[in-house]
Amino acid sequence: MVSACSWNSDSLWPSLSDSGPGGNDERAAAAAAAADEQAPAASSQPVFSAGDLLNNAPAAASPPVLGNTNFVPTGPAPGMPTGTVVGQRIAQLRAELQALDGRVGNNNTRLQQLRAMTAANAQRYHGTVAAITARLQLGTTPGNPIVVNQWNAAQADLDRLSADIGAMNALSASVAENAGTAEFLLESARATFGLSGAIDEDHRQLEILEDEINRSLVLIQRLLSELTEDVDRQTAYVANERSRLTTLSNAISSGELYGEALSSRMAPFGASGTRRGAGPAASSGSVGGGRPLVVIRFDRPDVAYERPLYNALSRALERNPNAYFDVVAVAPTGGSPSEVRRAQTQSRRNAEAVMSTVAEMGLPANRLRLSSTTSASAANSEIHVYVR
């Protein structure tokens, strides 16, 4: 933790300082204890210690469990020719059902192949993501070409998983067509009962054929249902993993892994309580209400505020997935008018840098609002982040 970042002990985070080796943990514990003593018993905002600021690496979600049913049609039983016109019609329907069952068998073979391919691609993808995450957790240089190559390999694996979804969709269309054929055959078999010139053997074979068509239709419908569920699960999974790769890409650029993309902690768009159309709006003199969630003091170059900021935003979204945030640039008022103007410009640039960092952490722009103000109590440029 750095001296340039502080948090409101009554809202979310204790203030920490780094004066002296080994002093961070002691001061963090002391600040947390003091906050516990001072905070009201009914306070709804917990206080967290420095241990809560440890790296929360994005654990790769397990691939969805695909169906495992083997859809093997049994085929129609052979029938005896009766020499009637109805008997000829029955033989024709039986041949069409046999051809349909052959196509269903091919669909089943293709489905099992796709499942095996998808499992292999997912396993390779997760192995690559685990290697990237491990290297980032240990720390690496920004834009490390080795990690970049690993990320490109993971992206290629994810593209293969997307291609598998496309193949499953194509298979679904074929299975749906077979379902339509089975329904047509069932209607034709039932209509054949009404044809004249049939003997008792014809109707006996028709009853058996109707049962066989029904059996094939049920098998096709089960295949289609399970395949549709596989596609839905895989589609959601790949979309989540693309978001994860975006987070890893940002981490590779900075050489540090923040954790899960902040968007993963947000409520779904349009969920109850989610506000729409509250995009970022720049204003002057507008300060978020209440106490700030985070205060970043730019009292020296290269202030390392990213990790504390990520953890504070993450905790806030855990408590309220519908939360929006105000980023306020606070400039000091001391000095001549020209110095004040320069301080305001610098403060604004710092706020824009913080906004960019938050975007890299996965928080959408419509959850942020930028504003600026001045303060006589500020000695240097400060950035205040409020929850609204």
Give the DSSP per-residue string, 122-146: HHHHHHHHHHHHHHHHH---TT-HH
The predicted structure's pLDDT at residue 50:
27
Backbone torsions φ then ψ of 6, nearest 5 degrees: -140, 160
d(CA 54, CA 177) in angstroms, rounded, equals 54
Q: How far is CA 169 from the centre of its chain?
A: 21
What average pLDDT does the structure give for the chain?
79
In this prediction, residues 257-277 reach a mean pLDDT of 56
Look up residue 358 and give its two tokens: 């938050």
The predicted structure's pLDDT at residue 365:
84
In this prediction, residues 55-69 reach a mean pLDDT of 64
Q: How large a percentage of the chain has pLDDT more than 70?
A: 76
Least confident of 27-36, 115-124, 274-283, 320-329: 27-36
Question: Is it the case that residue 128 has pLDDT exceeding 70?
Answer: yes
Look up residue 79 and give its two tokens: 């029938």
Instruction: Give residue-wise pLDDT tens across range 355-379.
Output: 888 887 778 888 899 999 998 888 8
The predicted structure's pLDDT at residue 356:
85
Pairing of strands 283-284, 325-332: unpaired
Closest CA relative to residue 172, chosen from 214, 221, 116: 221
CATH class of 5-56+278-387: alpha beta
* Domain segments of the chain as ranges: 5-56+278-387, 85-254
d(CA 58, CA 55) in angstroms, rounded, equals 9
β strands within 276-375, DSSP E: 283-284, 294-298, 325-332, 368-375
Instruction: Give residue-wise pLDDT tens across range 11-34.
Output: 333 333 333 334 444 333 333 333
d(CA 79, CA 93) in angstroms, rounded, equals 11
d(CA 316, CA 279) in angstroms, rounded, equals 19
Question: Is it the case that residue 90 has pLDDT exceeding 80?
Answer: yes
Question: Is it the case that residue 42 has pLDDT exceeding 50?
Answer: no
Long-range pairs for 115-123: beta carbons < 8 A, 24 or more residues apart: 115/66, 115/67, 115/68, 115/230, 117/164, 118/63, 118/66, 118/161, 118/164, 118/234, 119/63, 119/66, 121/157, 121/160, 121/161, 121/164, 122/63, 122/157, 122/161, 123/63
d(CA 358, CA 346) in angstroms, rounded, equals 18
CA distances for 214 relative to 29, 73, 161, 188, 228, angstroms: 70, 12, 34, 12, 21
d(CA 126, CA 349) in angstroms, rounded, equals 39
Least confident of 47-51, 176-180, 218-222, 248-252: 47-51
Look up residue 308 and give its two tokens: 């504390």
Least confident of 39-48, 92-101, 256-265, 371-380: 39-48
The predicted structure's pLDDT at residue 259:
64
Question: Is it the case that residue 98 has pLDDT exceeding 90?
Answer: yes
The predicted structure's pLDDT at residue 337:
87
Helices (H) and strands (E) in the chain, counts: 6, 6
Q: Which residues pair with 259 in a beta bridge?
A: 56
Question: Is it the case that residue 6 has pLDDT exceeding 80?
Answer: no
Confidence band for 211, pLDDT divided at 50, 70 and 90 = very high
